[in-house]
Amino acid sequence: MNLNQITLPVKDMEEATAFYRNLGFMQIVDTPHYARFECNDGGSTFSLSLNKESFNNGAIIYFEHKSLDQLVVDLCAKGISFSQLPTDESYLWREAITYDPSGNQIKFYWAGENRLNPPWRVERKD
């Protein structure tokens, strides 16, 4: 199996789509209630679904980028603010954190080999 996509709830579709395009993603579906974006590398996609009711989304979406520090500098220059600038984490990933206009948490990160093969990796299928 392979993960196809994740769908995030948003409160304002126009504001949300503008935000994700500003991050550098290509929008490939555009409707008043649903939008879909293509990631720059790897062929993955993610989507947004209009949710006019109050929500609190606890999911975190991660976007991997090898040149994380430069990416954050570039996004800051575009007006994106971060609650955490690139930081080396104890689990061997380097992460920066921002939020979209609907409050969805986004982490930009680089983990290198540790993404799939951390020192504590296990292989359980049961």
| pLDDT tens, residue order, the chain (126 aa) | 788 889 999 999 999 999 999 999 999 999 999 999 999 887 899 999 999 888 888 999 999 999 999 999 999 999 999 999 999 999 999 999 999 999 999 999 999 999 999 999 999 988
**Which structure tokens are listed for 89?**
């984490």
- Specify whether the CB–CB gap between 38 and 25 falls below 8 A: yes
Residues pairing with 113 in the sheet? none
> How far is residue 44's CA from residue 61's CA, in Å, rounded to a whole number?
13
The structural domains of the chain, ordered by start, are 7-51+61-112 (3.10.180.10)
Give backbone dihedrals phi and psi of 8, rounded to 5 degrees, phi first: -105, 140
Indicate the pTM of the whole model.
0.92
Q: What is the CA radius of gyration of the chain?
A: 15
> How far is residue 46's CA from residue 107's CA, in Å, rounded to a whole number?
14
